[in-house]
Amino acid sequence: MNENQTLSSKQQSIIPISAFTANGDLDKLKTALQEGLAAGLTVNEIKEILVHLYAYTGFPRSLNGINTFMALLKERQEQGIEDETGPEASPLPADMDKDAYGANVRAKLAGWETIPPPGGYQLFAPIIDTYLKEHLFADIFARDVLDFQSRELVTIAALASMTGTAGQLYFHLGAAMNTGLSEAQIHAFIDVLKEKVGQQEAGGATAVLTHVLSSRTN
């Protein structure tokens, strides 16, 4: 099968880790973390997944996930299992223009050729737009432990596992495809969601994906 028709085992393992962190099912998260390590995710890659998720699930869910991972690693160390740590994130340039960097990343993810003028919530509450650009799309997305495609896979798995986030899932399913994930790979994502997380989550994601694909062909 062509590599752009399916997801790698590492990519597949990201989905339940993100989903169970988002919905707070820590017992299932522990299993998902074990499967992620078995699939080849490094300790630092999983740490990065759990840190990335705080931007979408909040600090409580993210910290619960991190504590679950810490406990699992301790168990594995006591059993004599040595997990690969993996590279740390490269330091960001001291002179980085986070506003510009973040605005460009968001535009790239959205598929915009030019950055549109601010509107809506950006005008109503400008500080949230600053946080989105300078923190989420700069401080977090610029960390090179995970690439943009992996970060979008983390994000859509989390959003599909939460309620009331269809609008954000719509944006990020499109963003995931704009990072190079094919339509077939997005369907594979939903298959993993259905198998590992639940029918309801997969059904909701399928409904949103239908609208995304329709908008991309018009």
Please tell me the pTM assigned to this model. 0.95
What is the average pLDDT across 102-111? 97
Residues 167/109, Cβ–Cβ less than 8 Å: no
Per the listing, tokens 């993810």 go with: 109
pLDDT tens for each residue of 57-101: 999 999 999 999 999 999 999 999 999 999 999 999 999 999 999
Count of residues making up the chain: 218
- Tell me if the domain spanning 3-90+143-217 has CATH number 1.10.260.40: no
Domain boundaries, the chain: 3-90+143-217
